[in-house]
């Protein structure tokens, strides 16, 4: 079996040699068959009880009526510590009674994706890119899932009619240059269907980049076959964001899967979620990003946990995320430091949250600090020959592009496209004085107004 050089440093965990209990005696080729893994996922108290010593809290979560779907591949289940309810692998996929406890500010659709959906399954929040939801199914289900309102529900599956509408929308909006396929997990789709979607998207002239968001390399690394990778590499530029939360998720099988993707020229990024009791530790996160970069995966985002029902017990204070960034910036390679973001509630999009490195500024200098607390002043230039848009090919091209949208947000203020960002209802609120009866004020001011004194 092919392996990259990092694999020799990793101890072989349960499930990568002979199948572990209770699957001992199963032929190894069947254990390594991704179809067998999907067909034999664990989801009941009885099945999981054969692998794990379930806690009363876990039994309550598994037995609750209407709980968010549970499915755990035998491979991923074999990585769980059977005796430790705090095992970071276990906490991510096993429900507990705490999922049923509501919390302040929780929402069904905390990112307002439905409100930004011009056609079913397509989210158009940012000007030049769209999120294309292609399935509601996953290999296993994360307990903190942002889309738990639809993910895992077979009745909410997307159809060929939905795909057609999504692709028509993309083809009809020339500003869309980047399409992210997500769900659910696109790598769970039948390979021919995924290939067809990629082919149709690649045929749209203004779509420059295709991306796939997947947790299959973690939950089901057996699915990353040579045949699948050969298909994916035909659609470059194709990027993939994978989703690791803890160093324990790395196994030789995972490293083989990542090496196949990277060797096919697919740039890999990682999106992690900050989870209480799983990775809310600077040392855990440093170990994680180091394992990622050793396997040619760029740490991309650390997400603050979203305000979705069932995820309340996973949430951390924002200060925890800032402490993690402080522990990484300057203490490891710059490309190993992800961006910590809050996906703003009600559809505000990803907002980067950083420690304060810029302390102050004047017209002449800025005062900055480094990761050690070393504070220094950077002198601003006395003469600045600024960029001339009239001589800039990129500016002229945008000016001539009739399909280009006006810049929005703070960038529009800086470019001069807008003079202000006005909150909803601002004008109405500031008409208050026009509604005040003017006569009493005029009478009170009259003596002073009629006086000859200055």
Q: Per the residue annotation, which of 98, 233, 350, 369 is the catalytic one?
A: 350
Contacts of residue 414, defined as CB under 8 A and 6 or more positions apart, other chains included, come to none
Which of the residues 90, 147, 291, 315 is marked catalytic?
Answer: 147
Q: Catalytic residue, from 90, 129, 149, 260: name it.
A: 129
What is the distance, to the nearest Å, from the Cα of residue 33 to the centroid of all Cα atoms in its chain? 28
Nearest C-alpha neighbor of 71 from the set 14, 137, 19, 16: 137
- The Cα 325–Cα 340 span in angstroms is 7
Which pair of structure tokens corresponds to residue 253?
């099988």
| Closest C-alpha to 177, from 116, 128, 122 | 128
Which one-letter DSSP state was computed for residue 332? B
Annotated active-site residue in 109, 185, 280, 343: 343
| Catalytic, out of 87, 145, 270, 305 | 145
DSSP 406: P
Contact 272, 228 (CB under 8 A): no
The answer to whether the CB of 261 falls within 8 A of the CB of 299 is no
Degrees to nearest 5, angle at CA 437 with 435 and 438: 110
Q: What is the CA radius of gyration of the chain?
A: 27
Q: Which residues contact 84 (CB under 8 A, 6 or more apart)?
A: 90
Q: Count how many residues are written for the chain.
A: 454
Q: How far apart are CA 210 and CA 233, in angstroms?
A: 11
- 343 is a catalytic site residue: yes
Annotated catalytic, 305?
no
Active-site position among 87, 91, 109, 138? 138
Q: Out of 71, 84, 126, 200, which one is annotated catalytic?
A: 126
281 tagged catalytic: no
Q: How far apart are the first and last CA of the chain?
A: 96
Catalytic residue among 301, 306, 315, 340: 306
Is 392 among the residues known to form the active site? no
Angle at which helices 282-294 and 318-328 cross, to 10°: 50
Active site residue 248: no
In the residue annotation, 87 being an active-site residue is answered as no
Is 386 an active-site residue? no
Active-site choice (125, 200, 233, 329): 125
> CA 317 to CA 311: how far, in whole Å?
14
From the list 142, 185, 260, 270, the catalytic residue is 142
Residue 302 to residue 353: CA distance in whole angstroms: 10
Residue in 182, 192, 176, 168 with CA at minimum distance from that of residue 133: 182
196 is an active site residue: no
Q: Under a CB-based contact definition with an 8 Å cutoff, are residues 100 and 150 in contact?
A: no
If DSSP codes are grouped into helix, strand and coil, which group holds residue 98? helix
Closest by CA to 241, choosing from 184, 293, 298, 196, is 298
**345, 109, 129: which is closest to 241 by C-alpha?**
129
| CA–CA dist 243, 245 (Å, integer) | 7
Cβ distance 336 to 293 under 8 Å? yes
Catalytic positions, written as ranges: 125-126, 129, 138, 142, 145, 147, 306, 343, 350
């Amino acid at each position: 079996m092919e392996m990259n050089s990092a694999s020799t440093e990793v101890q072989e965990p349960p499930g990568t040699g002979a199948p572990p209990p209770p699957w001992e005696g199963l032929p190894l080729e069947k254990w390594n068959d991704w179809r067998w893994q999907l067909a034999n996922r664990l989801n009941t108290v009885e099945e999981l009880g054969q692998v794990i010593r379930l806690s009363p809290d876990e039994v309550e979560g598994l037995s609750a009526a209407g709980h968010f779907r549970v499915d755990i591949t035998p491979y991923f289940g074999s990585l769980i510590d059977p005796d430790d309810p705090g095992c970071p692998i276990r906490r991510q996929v096993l429900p507990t009674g705490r999922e049923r406890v509501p919390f302040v500010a929780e929402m069904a659709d905390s990112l307002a994706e439905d409100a930004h959906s011009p056609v079913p399954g397509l989210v158009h929040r940012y000007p030049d890119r769209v999120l294309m939801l292609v399935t509601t199914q996953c290999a296993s289900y994360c307990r903190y899932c942002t889309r738990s309102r639809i993910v895992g529900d077979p009745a909410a599956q997307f159809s060929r009619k939905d795909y057609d509408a999504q692709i028509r929308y993309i083809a009809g909006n020339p500003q869309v240059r980047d399409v992210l396929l997500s769900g659910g997990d696109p790598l769970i789709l039948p390979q021919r269907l995924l290939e067809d979607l990629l082919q149709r998207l690649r045929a749209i002239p203004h779509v420059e980049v295709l991306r796939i968001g997947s947790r299959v390399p973690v939950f089901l690394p057996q699915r990353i076959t040579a045949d699948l990778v050969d298909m994916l590499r035909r659609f470059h530029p194709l990027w993939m964001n994978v989703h690791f939360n803890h160093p324990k998720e790395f196994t030789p099988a995972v490293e083989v899967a990542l090496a196949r993707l990277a060797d096919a020229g697919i740039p890999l990024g990682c999106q992690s979620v900050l989870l209480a009791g799983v990775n809310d530790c600077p040392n855990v996160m440093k170990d994680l990003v180091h394992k990622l970069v050793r396997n040619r995966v760029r740490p991309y985002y650390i997400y603050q946990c979203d305000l979705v029902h069932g995820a309340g017990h996973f949430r951390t204070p924002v200060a925890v995320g800032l402490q993690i960034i402080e522990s990484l910036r300057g203490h490891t390679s710059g490309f190993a430091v992800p961006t910590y973001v809050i996906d703003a509630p009600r559809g505000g999009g990803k907002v980067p949250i950083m420690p304060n490195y810029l302390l102050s500024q004047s017209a002449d200098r800025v005062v900055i600090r480094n990761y050690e607390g070393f504070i220094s002043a950077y002198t601003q230039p006395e003469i600045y020959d600024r960029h001339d848009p009239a001589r800039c090919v990129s500016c002229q091209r945008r000016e001539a592009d009739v399909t280009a949208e006006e810049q929005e947000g703070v960038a529009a203020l800086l470019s001069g496209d807008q003079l202000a960002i006005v909150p909803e209802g601002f004008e109405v609120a500031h008409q208050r004085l026009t509604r005040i009866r003017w006569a009493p004020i005029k009478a009170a001011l009259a003596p002073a107004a009629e006086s000859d004194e200055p």
